[in-house]
Every structure is written in structure tokens, then in C-alpha cells.
Structure 1
Amino acid sequence: METILIIVFVLGYIGIALEHTFKIDKLIPALGMMAILWALIALDHMQVYEIVDGIGKEPHHLEGVLLHHLGKTAEILVFLMGAMTIVEIIDYFDGFSTIKSYIKTKSRKRLLWIFTFLAFVLSAIIDNLTATIVLITILQKIVVRREMRLWFAGLIVIAANAGGAWSPIGDVTTTMLWIANKVSASQLIEHVLLPSIACFAVPVFIASRMKLFKGDIVVELSDDEKPKSKYGSLMFYLGLGAILFVPVFKTLTHLPPYMGMMLSLAVVAAVAEYLSNTKFSLGNATGGEGAAVHHSPVHKSLSKIEMPSILFFLGILMAVAALESLGMLFDFAGTLEQTVPYLGTEHHSTKISDLVVLLLGAGSAVIDNVPLVAASIGMFQIGMDEPAWHFIAYAAGTGGSMLVIGSAAGVVAMGMEKIDFMWYLKKIGWLALIGFLAGAATFIILRDFLLNATS
């Protein structure tokens, strides 16, 4: 039966990886795989386990294990729904137009650094997908030549993925590690920030020396466009501040992160409703009772959050949990630790090979990084803030930049600018690879230095 389960899991993986080939949304194989795996476990009355203290497997009833994993998955989903809603509320007030005020130059090289730096910083606060959408939308209003925009978009993808890797709220995978108590916010930032900077700065520096980025852009920057709402800047800074408050809330209260996100959402939503009602009552006094609901920014924002992504995460996380509950991931991790040599310092307490983590990063360019990190959480039963978790956060977050379909940021850039797969591979892929390896080398050097300093 375990062989059948593995076959189902592999087929589901293939369906997810080839969603663009099959033209089927990846949530479909993810949800199908989840349901089939748990159904097979139930029908065959297979023994399920929970990992105890990272050293052994303790048998449990199926209903209890299923509820345990559903609860852990729900923490991530509720957190993401809150973050998505805050981002949509900011967009409702056209808050992201505030970013355009930071762009005052016509120099191609300076524009490249400004856009990639904004992508790096924004993706650490909101997610890398939203940061990419916002910046490419602004880019389309500034850079007319499509060939030039493609280069900008490709480098924005690299910077956005690098920015999301060092922040517990910047990427789904780092959020998963944070909520699962594998990393703390402070230690993640301390160990992954410098590697992430190297990951985006090295390829951007190389690109900025190219002939393509010499000189100025052709068109003048337009300051005529006015934001759709006078409250845009207020909601932009309030929304970003509310999301940044979440790690502070967790540190102070030791409650799960989704609690802090719900508090932040409540505050942002309350301000949004107040501002919207004020505007409505002054400018649309003739509306009926239903009109206020129709103009509610919260209702509007909730209707725009990405439910397909939420359902995909539900499917893939619960599918990985099925294999974890059987102890298969735990056993596989033991095999890896015995067969793959470790390349770091000899006194390092974890035995996860750097090669394994680097391969995981490379694999995230082909296979979605969410199931890879979910599998890692189930496989490697090591302590919180072990350097291996920080390396996994870096590798899974940045490795997807090597292919345009390897990350959510790349996929959305591909759609917005109609980027050809082979064009990205030839023009941007090698830069992303250099950045990935530069960041990995920075991480290993920094990790070994910190370990030697504390030994």
C-alpha cells in the first residue's frame, strides 16, 4: 500500500509541476492527491503516527492525527488570508501608487537599482507575488520599450524572491517554517538577510554593467497621474505597518502568528471602513442601506483574495501530512542523513547536508517550493533555529528564480509581460543562478563564522 501512496503522490506532483502544460490549475491535482491519500490510509486501516521530540514515532488514532494536521494547516491558511486581505485593502485605496513617488530618475541603471531594491524590501513585508505585480504595473507606465521592460521584470523577480526569503512574512515557505516553530523571526533575519542581499545584488550589479542599461529611458516620467483616493498613502503605510506588527505581537504574546494577523486586519479594516463611510456619506448621500455594503472596502477586498492559492496550499500541505503521519518522511530523512555527506563544520549539530539543501533549492525551480518545504518540515526533526532551517528558507525562497515558472513571482511576471520561457532561461536564468550560488556561499561562510564564534 505504501508503494501505491507514493505513486499517487508522485502523480500529483507531476500534475502540479506541469500545470502550464496540462492547462489545469495546480489546486486540482493538489486537492485530489490529498483526498486520495487520506482515503487510502483510512480504507487500509494503516497505522498513523506523530513524531515525538524529533526522535521517534508514537502511534495515534487517524481522526486525531488528521485533526492535528488540519489545525496546523489552518494556521497557515488563516494567516495568508489575513495578509491577502490587508494587501487588497491597500489596493482598494490605490495605496501602491505611493511607490511611484520614490522614482524620480530617468537613468536606466538607477531605475534598475530602484526597482529591484523596492522589490527586495516590499516582498519582505507583503509577499513576493504582490510586490512583483505592483512594481511591474508601475514599470509599464515608465518604460515604453518592451525589450527593456522584460529585463527589468526578470531582475525584479530575482529581487522579489530574495526579499521574501529572509522575512517570516515575506514568502509562504518562510511563513510555514515560522508558524511551525522551526525558525524565529530574529534568527531568520540574522542568518538569511546577508545571503539574500547577495542573491539579488550580485546579478543586478552584473546586469547594470551591461550596455543595455547605459543611458536614460526615452520617455519622461509623468507626474500628472493622481491617485484614485486621497487616503492612498495613509492606507499604504498603515497596511505595511500592520503586517510588520505581526512578528512583534507573536514575540510579546507567544500566540500563533495568525492571531496577530487577525488583529492587524481588524485595525486596517476598521480604518478602511471609517474612511470609506466618510467618503460615501459626503459624496453619495442618496444611496440606500445596501449601498454602504456595496462600497465596503472589506467586502470588496475579501472577494478578491486568491482562493485558488488557499485551496492549493490546503491540498499540498495535507497531502504531505499524510506521508508524514505514516512516518515515511521521517524514515527518508534518516536515509539522507546517512548517505549524503555534510559539508559544513564538523561540530555542527545537524547532519543535513548542504548538498541536500542546494538540491532542494534547485528543485524549487521545477517543482513548487511549498510542497518541498512542507516535506522538509516533516522529514527533518531538528531543533528550532538550527542553521539548516535557515538555509532551507533561503534555498527554497530563491532557487525558483532560475526558471520563469519556478516561483509565483516569475509566473505572474510571465503573464503580465508575456515573457517567453526560453528567453528568460537564456537572459535571466544564468544571472539568477549566479545570485543563488553567491547567496548560498555567503550563508555557509556566515554560518560557519557564527558557529566558530560561539564554540
Structure 2
Amino acid sequence: MVAAIVACFVIGYIVIVFEHPLRLDKTVPALLMGAVCWALLSLGFNAGTLEVVNTEGEVFNMFNSVSGHAQEFGHAGAHEVAEEGFVGTLLHHLGKTAEILIFLIGAMTIVEIVDLHRGFDVLKGWVRTRNKKKLLWIVGALGFILSAIIDNLTATIVLVTLLRKLVPDREERIWYVALIVIAANAGGAWSPIGDVTTTMLWIGKRVSTAGLMEFLIVPSLVCFAVPFVIASFLKPFQGNLATVVLTEAEEEEQGRLLSSKTMLFLGLGMIVFVPIFKTLTHLPPYLGMMLSLGVVWLVSEYIHPEEDFTEERKVQYSAHKALSRIEMSSILFFLGILMSVAALETVVVNGVGSLRAVAESLRSVIPNEDIVIVVLGFLSAIIDNVPLVAASMGMYDLGTHPIDARLWHFIAYSAGTGGSMLIIGSAAGVAAMGMERIDFIWYFKKIAWLAFVGFAAGAVTFLVIETAFNLGIEH
């Protein structure tokens, strides 16, 4: 039965990887994979052929659980106790997954409310150059900063939309878009709200906000800066843009609403407030995101985007409209992926959870954990980094690697930035690929080496900083 669960996961994952050739939304195999894995696990447990590990690390199956409680509750009652233990484990994993999903729904809704009020159009006024090299650094810096606040996927979408207005020539524009993918992924790696994987590690109490910023902001800056320095000397970024970059002031004003600036700064501010809320209250991040969404929603109900604002126009800028625009398919994809990984984490192999067994096997083959995590970074360019990070959280114990341990910081960096090496390796890359029809081979030939150099430079910087920090503690 363990083989069947693993086979289900592998087959489902292969279908997800080849979603484009199969023309099948990756949410479908993810949901099927999550449900079938738990169904197989339940069948095996109830038949007594599978053992599971609960949230306290206790290993049990139907028979040894029944024998342990049979004298106290009777045979039928002992069966109920065993089933309750299994269901309790399932509910625990569902609860941890729901924390991430609620957090993401809140963040995505806030961003959509800001977008409905054309808040991101304000960014156009910040770009006042026709020089290609300067424009590269301006949009790159915006990508790095914005991705740390509104996540790398949303930052990429916003900046690609902005570039369409600044660089009409698609052949010139795709170079900027490809470099934005690198900047956005690097910026998302050092923020707990900048990437789904760092959010998972943060909510799972593997990293803290202060720990991420302290140890990852410099490596992330290096990962962003090195490719941009090299790109500055490449031919596509020499000279000036052939067309006028800046729009007329009148057209610029027409593109904004009375509420644009207010909603932009309120939305970004309330998202940044979430880690502060967690630090002050010690409550889970999703509660802070609920509070932030409530505040933004409240303001959006009473603010006037236009001079002659009628009740009929109100629906166009409402939170209800924003909720209809968020990608629920992505939320359901994460649900399927995280629950299927939870099933692998729960099923027992060699006396421990199967993911923990994989970690022990890797440790025996590759004793250096840093090498394992670098490999994870390369894998994240091919395989979605969400299940990779979810698996790593199940592979390594908080007892051995407590919060803000070097391992978790390096996983956050590698999984977050390694995906830049291929256009399909990150959510930001996939979004850019879809919006600008960027060819996989073109990106591989022109951009992959820049992303690799940045990833390697940042990884070396991280290891140097961590080594120096540990030596300082020892002395």
C-alpha cells in the first residue's frame, strides 16, 4: 500500500509537470492526488497493513492501537479510538494547510482591491527615463522591493503590465520581463510574505521574520544584483528606447482614480503590517491577514474613486469584484499539493514518516546538508517549489533544526531563487511566460546562465555569512 501511495504521488506530479503538453490545468491532478493518497492511506490503516505517525511523533496502526485500548474500552471502542487518532492526524494537517490558504486568499484579495482602484498605475510616474540601462535597474529594483511586499507573482504581473506601457516593442520588452523574474524571485526569498514557500516556512514556525531578513537580505540582494550588473553590459540594454517612454501628463491623470494613491499605500501598508501583528500578538499570521483585509475592505466601501461616483459604479471597485478575480484554482492547487505531501509525511516507512526516511537516506548518501539544499534549488527550476519545501519540512525535525536554523534559511533561499533558472521554475516565470509568450528555449539560451550566476553568488554569500556568524558565536 505504501508503494501505491508513492506511485499515486509520482504519477500525479508527472501530470502536473507536463500540464502544458497535456492541456490540463494542474489543479486537477493536484486535487485528485491529495484525495487518492489519503484514501489509500485510510484503506491501508483500517486494514491494519499501514502504520501512521501522528502529530506527537507516535507511530501506531489499527491493531496495536486497538490492543492498547481494548481492555479499557472494549474491542469496538478501541477501534473508534484508533480511527479518531487517524482522523485527528488528518485534521491537524488540514488545519496547517488551511492557515496557508487563508493567508494567501487575504493577500490576493487586498492586491486585487488595489488593482481595481488602479493603485499600481501610480508606479508609472516613478519611471522617468528613456535610457535602457537605467530603466532596467529601475524596474528591477521595483521588482525586488514589491515582491517582498505583495509576493513575487503579483509583482511580476504588475511590472509586466507597466512595461507594456513603457516598452511597446515586444522584442525589447521580453528582455526586461525575463530579468524581472530573477529580481522578483530574489526579492521574495527574504520576506515571509514574498513567496509561497517562505510563507509556508514562516507559518510552519521554521523561520521568523527577523531571522529571514537578517540572514537572507544580503544573499538575495547579491542574487538580484549580479545578473543585473552583467545584463547592463549586454547589447539589449545599450542606448535609449526608440519611442517616448513617458505618457502625456493628461493621459497619466486619466489613468488614475482619486483613490489610486490611497488604496496603493493602504494595501501595501496593511500587508506589511501582518508580520508586525504576529510579532506583537504571537497569533498566527492568517489572523493578521484577516485584520488587514478587513481594514482595506472597510476603506474600499466608503472611498470615492471618481468625482461623480454613483451607487451603480460602486460594484466596479468593490471587494466582491476583487474576490471574483482572485485565482481560486491556485488556492485549490496548493490544497491538493500540501495535503498529498501531508499523506507522505504521515505514512510510516522504517519506523518513521516516509519523508523523514527519505531525509535519513539522503544523509547517508550525501552527509553535507548544504549540498542537498543546493540540489533542491536546482530541482525547484524543474519541479514546483511548493511540494519541495513542503517535503523538506516533513523531512527535517524541529528538534534537530529549531526555528531560524541555518537549514531553514538556506531552504528558503534555494527554493525561492533556484526557480529563476528556467522560465517554468517559478510562479513569476510562468506568469511572465503566459503574459508575453516567452519561449522556453529562448529563456534557456539567453537568461538561464544569468539566473544561475546570481543563484550561485547568493548561495556562496549566504554560506559565508552563516559561517562567520557561527564562528562569532563560538568565540
Map 1:369-388; keep pairs closer than 5 Å: 369-381=385-397, 382-388=401-407
Q: Secondary structure at the match of 2:53?
A: strand
**Could you tell me how far apart the structure 2 residues matched to 1:131 and 1:248 are?**
21
Map 1:312-323; keep pairs closer than 5 Å: 312-323=333-344
Map 1:240-251; keep pairs closer than 5 Å: 240-251=268-279
Moved more, 155-164 or 36-45: 36-45
1:324 to 345, 363, 369: 345
Larger Rg: 2
TM-aligned CA deviation for residue 295 of structure 1: 4.2
**Could you tell me how far apart the structure 1 residues matched to 2:310 and 2:466 are?**
59
CA contact (8 A) 1:51 1:58 kept: no
Residue of structure 2 equivalent to 1:225? 252
- Which AA in structure 2 matches 1:129? L
1:134 to 155, 158, 165: 158
Residue of structure 2 equivalent to 1:345? none
Residue of structure 2 equivalent to 1:347? none
Residue of structure 2 equivalent to 1:255? 283
CA contact (8 A) 2:117 2:317 kept: no
CA contact (8 A) 1:120 1:159 kept: yes
**Could you tell me how far apart the structure 1 residues matched to 2:309 and 2:203 are?**
44
Task: After superposition, give the CA deviation of every residue in 1:145-189 in whole Å (9 maximum; x if it has no partner).
Answer: 222111101000000000001000000000000000000000011
Task: Kindly indicate whether residue 383 of structure 2 is the aligned counterpart of residue 367 of structure 1.
Answer: yes
**Could you tell me how far apart the structure 2 residues matched to 1:178 and 1:356 are?**
21
Task: Kindly indicate whether residue 104 of structure 2 is the aligned counterpart of residue 108 of structure 1.
Answer: no
Residue of structure 2 equivalent to 1:354? 370
Residue of structure 1 equivalent to 2:329? 308
**Could you tell me how far apart the structure 1 residues matched to 2:228 and 2:20 are?**
28
2:457 to 427, 434, 438: 438
TM-aligned CA deviation for residue 127 of structure 1: 1.2
1:49 to 47, 53, 57: 53
Q: Secondary structure at the match of 1:181?
A: coil
Task: Kindly indicate whether residue 233 of structure 2 is the aligned counterpart of residue 209 of structure 1.
Answer: yes
Task: After superposition, give the CA deviation of every residue in 1:223-265 in whole Å (9 maximum; x if it has no partner).
Answer: 3332341110110011000000000000000000000000000
Moved more, 225-234 or 303-312: 225-234
**Could you tell me how far apart the structure 1 residues matched to 2:87 and 2:336 are?**
17
- Which AA in structure 1 matches 2:219? P
CA contact (8 A) 1:89 1:298 kept: yes
TM-aligned CA deviation for residue 412 of structure 1: 1.0
Map 1:137-286; keep pairs closer than 5 Å: 137-220=161-244, 221-223=246-248, 224-226=251-253, 227-276=255-304, 282-284=308-310
**Could you tell me how far apart the structure 1 residues matched to 2:333 and 2:94 are?**
14
CA contact (8 A) 1:132 1:409 kept: yes
TM-aligned CA deviation for residue 51 of structure 1: 5.1
Residue of structure 2 equivalent to 1:348? none
TM-aligned CA deviation for residue 279 of structure 1: 5.4
**Could you tell me how far apart the structure 1 residues matched to 2:119 and 2:128 are?**
18
Q: CA RMSD in A?
A: 1.4
**Could you tell me how far apart the structure 1 residues matched to 2:209 and 2:278 are?**
10
**Could you tell me how far apart the structure 2 residues matched to 1:295 and 1:440 are?**
45
Q: Secondary structure at the match of 2:424?
A: coil
**Could you tell me how far apart the structure 2 residues matched to 1:339 and 1:428 are?**
33
Task: Kindly indicate whether residue 15 of structure 2 is the aligned counterpart of residue 15 of structure 1.
Answer: yes
Q: Secondary structure at the match of 2:325?
A: coil
CA contact (8 A) 2:34 2:336 kept: yes
- Which AA in structure 2 matches 1:321? A
**Could you tell me how far apart the structure 1 residues matched to 2:58 and 2:472 are?**
35
**Could you tell me how far apart the structure 2 residues matched to 1:443 and 1:21 are?**
37
TM-aligned CA deviation for residue 144 of structure 1: 2.3
CA contact (8 A) 1:16 1:367 kept: no
TM-aligned CA deviation for residue 4 of structure 1: 1.2
Task: Kindly indicate whether residue 98 of structure 2 is the aligned counterpart of residue 91 of structure 1.
Answer: no
- Which AA in structure 2 matches 1:324? E
TM-aligned CA deviation for residue 43 of structure 1: 1.2
CA contact (8 A) 1:93 1:235 kept: yes
Q: Which of structure 1's runs of 4+ aligned residues deviate more than 6 A?
A: none
Task: Kindly indicate whether residue 430 of structure 2 is the aligned counterpart of residue 403 of structure 1.
Answer: no
Aligned residue pairs total 435
- Which AA in structure 2 matches 1:377? M
Q: Secondary structure at the match of 1:303?
A: helix
Distance 1:329 1:118, change over 3 A: same
**Could you tell me how far apart the structure 2 residues matched to 1:295 and 1:117 are?**
31
TM-aligned CA deviation for residue 212 of structure 1: 2.3
- Which AA in structure 2 matches 1:222? T
**Could you tell me how far apart the structure 2 residues matched to 1:16 and 1:228 are?**
39
Residue of structure 1 equivalent to 2:2? 2
CA contact (8 A) 2:140 2:183 kept: yes
Residue of structure 2 equivalent to 1:349? none
**Could you tell me how far apart the structure 2 residues matched to 1:235 and 1:268 are?**
8
Percentage of matched positions with identical amino acids: 56
TM-aligned CA deviation for residue 341 of structure 1: 2.5
- Which AA in structure 2 matches 1:36? V
TM-aligned CA deviation for residue 334 of structure 1: 1.5
**Could you tell me how far apart the structure 2 residues matched to 1:238 and 1:58 are?**
48
CA contact (8 A) 2:257 2:306 kept: no
**Could you tell me how far apart the structure 2 residues matched to 1:228 and 1:238 are?**
16
**Could you tell me how far apart the structure 1 residues matched to 2:327 and 2:364 are?**
41
Q: Secondary structure at the match of 1:44?
A: helix
**Could you tell me how far apart the structure 2 residues matched to 1:32 and 1:295 are?**
36
What TM-score, normalized to structure 1?
Answer: 0.93
Distance 1:296 1:119, change over 3 A: closer
Residue of structure 1 equivalent to 2:473? 454
Distance 1:273 1:377, change over 3 A: same
**Could you tell me how far apart the structure 1 residues matched to 2:460 and 2:380 are?**
18
- Which AA in structure 2 matches 1:396? A
List alignment gaps of at least 5 residues for structure 1.
343-352
Task: After superposition, give the CA deviation of every residue in 1:170-209 in whole Å (9 maximum; x if it has no partner).
Answer: 0000000000000000001111111111111100100001
Residue of structure 2 equivalent to 1:340? 366
**Could you tell me how far apart the structure 2 residues matched to 1:222 and 1:341 are?**
57
**Could you tell me how far apart the structure 1 residues matched to 2:179 and 2:152 are?**
13
- Which AA in structure 2 matches 1:204? F
**Could you tell me how far apart the structure 2 residues matched to 1:211 and 1:427 are?**
12
